[in-house]
């Protein structure tokens, strides 16, 4: 079928013909407006009759990546490039997929190929700069990002990406100047405000951090991330836990690149929990496991073979979409964790919680809810970031990055009060962050049967 031929468009009231070109443009408009279901349906119809159409392969491949099927998306874009080796946009988007999935080594040659084909392709300079930054080749990254700015001076993201590189080089003054320029160009850029705060924090300029947060809240008074960070920087009215809106907003925005970022951070927490689960000898024929705060399903994929039934729950719909792609869960549910647990009493043999409780300060309510949701003698296996308190009255601390850390004594006391026996509490490095190890705890606790009276 050639692009000039027609396809049938059907709805409940009419049937009409549409040219291939018009159908492809319709699918692309739907794709660009994030109406992915409708776009994919049209793309698939067109692929059935034109499986070698390079634009169609490219667009469909990028859509599949956006829906969480990155490997499949890569293969479709590679098919487009096999047909048209000089397809610039396809090379660029293939590089973007590699970047978002934590593969900068594969991304770099894609962007270099774009620049061979078009030396004035501004976004490729910017993307190559990001790839080089991810490979810690910071000075090279600066060169390419400056070229992107030269070619596209009105694109605020280039300035922010260059600021990110300067922050890694500890050239904080230049980073501050560029973050400020980004904000001046786009006063609603949450990432720029947040990174400017981080930069001033690294400079130990606490008052400047507060000024940035005030400005951010002035422009977006209801922004949950800004509100949470205000508490973390001022330590005024520290919330018992991060708000639902903060968690949802943070992780919806992080979902597409989540796995790739964690790969670069040498993320160990899911493996530590998997190992702890094996120590309690789960029964793959009978056990039901709840992956609490499942995210994209990193832990679920590891524990799937150890249990009969696997449920994932998370507040972020975008993270749940990514988890669905893994195909390992029997159920995936969007809910706030404590409320969900209280609605599912005596339902699970084991509950795992990987880097979710770091968004809770006061753990008493969630520990109580976990105990209620577990069967008698059920297991609770989780990670927390570890607080070495200098003030004996401080049981948990909200840090400027927005997460809480907890003391061992506090965690032990609350577990016992909720009806658990603490079996193991091991210190471990959960990941690296800003090239520094993040020290945490891996805890295994078991619900104790309630002893009845005479």
From first to last of its 454 residues, what are the pLDDT tens digits of the chain?
Answer: 334 444 554 444 334 568 999 999 999 999 999 999 999 999 999 999 999 999 999 999 999 999 888 999 999 999 999 999 999 999 999 999 999 888 999 999 999 999 999 999 999 999 999 999 999 999 999 999 999 999 999 999 999 999 999 999 999 999 999 999 999 999 999 999 999 999 999 999 999 999 999 999 999 999 999 999 999 998 878 899 999 999 999 998 877 767 666 766 678 999 999 999 999 999 999 999 999 999 999 999 999 999 999 999 999 999 999 899 899 999 999 999 999 999 999 999 999 999 999 999 999 999 999 999 999 999 999 999 999 877 778 899 999 889 999 999 999 999 999 999 999 999 999 988 877 899 999 999 999 887 654 4
- Give the number of other Cβ atoms within 10 Å of residue 129's Cβ: 28
Paired with 15 in beta bridges are 10
Q: Which domains does the chain have, with CATH numbers?
A: 6-214 (1.25.40.10), 252-447 (3.40.50.150)
How many other β-carbons are positioned within 10 Å of the β-carbon of residue 4?
A: 8
| Residue burial 379-410, b: 16+ Cβ < 10 Å; e: rest | bbbbbbbbbebeeeeebbbbeebbbbbbbbeb
Q: Output the six-digit token pair for 188.
A: 């609603």
Sequence-ordered list of residues with C-beta below 8 angstroms from that of 250, at least 6 positions apart, any chain: 225, 316, 402
Please give the helix or strand (H or E) that residue 442 lies within, else none: strand 436-447
DSSP letter for 451, please.
P
Residue in this structure with the two tokens 């099927």, named with its chain if needed = 69
Q: How many beta carbons lie within 10 A of that of residue 228, not counting itself?
A: 22
By the 10 Å C-beta count (0-12 exposed, 13-18 middle, 19+ buried), 48 is classed as exposed
């Amino acid at each position: 079928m050639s692009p000039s031929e027609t396809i049938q468009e059907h709805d409940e009231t009419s049937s009409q013909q549409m040219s291939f070109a018009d159908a492809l443009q319709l699918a692309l408009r739907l794709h660009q407006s994030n109406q992915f279901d409708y776009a994919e349906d049209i793309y698939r119809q067109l692929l059935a009759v034109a499986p070698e159409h390079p634009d169609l392969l490219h667009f469909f491949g990028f859509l599949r990546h956006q829906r969480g099927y990155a490997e499949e998306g890569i293969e479709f874009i590679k098919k487009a490039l096999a047909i048209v080796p000089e397809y610039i946009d396809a090379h660029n988007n293939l590089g973007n997929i590699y970047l978002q999935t934590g593969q900068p080594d594969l991304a770099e040659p894609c962007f270099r190929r774009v620049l061979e084909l078009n030396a004035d392709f501004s976004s490729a300079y910017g993307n190559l700069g990001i790839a080089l930054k991810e490979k810690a080749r910071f000075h090279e990254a600066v060169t390419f990002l400056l070229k992107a700015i030269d070619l596209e001076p009105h694109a605020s993201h280039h300035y922010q990406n260059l600021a990110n590189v300067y922050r890694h080089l500890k050239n904080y003054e230049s980073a501050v100047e560029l973050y400020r320029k980004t904000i001046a160009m786009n006063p609603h850029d949450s990432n720029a405000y947040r990174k400017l705060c981080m930069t001033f924090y690294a400079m130990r300029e606490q008052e400047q951090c507060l000024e940035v947060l005030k400005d951010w809240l002035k422009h977006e008074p209801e922004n949950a991330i800004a509100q949470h960070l205000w508490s973390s920087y001022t330590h005024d009215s520290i919330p018992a836990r991060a708000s639902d809106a903060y968690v949802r907003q943070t992780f919806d925005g992080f979902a597409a690149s989540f796995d790739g970022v964690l790969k670069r951070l040498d993320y160990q927490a899911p493996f530590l929990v998997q190992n702890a689960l094996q120590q309690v000898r789960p029964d793959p024929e009978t056990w039901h496991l709840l992956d609490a705060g499942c995210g994209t399903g990193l832990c679920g994929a590891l524990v799937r073979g150890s249990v009969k039934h696997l449920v994932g729950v998370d507040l972020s719909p975008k993270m749940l979409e990514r988890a669905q792609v893994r195909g390992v869960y029997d159920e995936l549910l969007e809910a706030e964790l404590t409320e969900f647990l209280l609605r599912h009493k005596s339902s699970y043999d084991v509950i795992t919680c990987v880097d979710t409780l770091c968004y809770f300060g006061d753990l008493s309510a969630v520990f109580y809810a976990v105990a209620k949701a577990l069967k008698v003698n059920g297991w609770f296996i989780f990670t927390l970031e570890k607080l070495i308190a200098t003030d004996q009255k401080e049981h948990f601390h909200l840090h400027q990055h927005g997460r809480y850390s907890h003391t061992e004594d506090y965690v032990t006391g609350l577990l016992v009060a909720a009806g658990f026996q603490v079996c193991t509490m091991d210190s471990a490095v959960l990941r690296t962050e800003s090239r520094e190890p993040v020290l945490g705890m891996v805890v295994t606790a078991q619900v104790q049967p309630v002893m009845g009276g005479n």
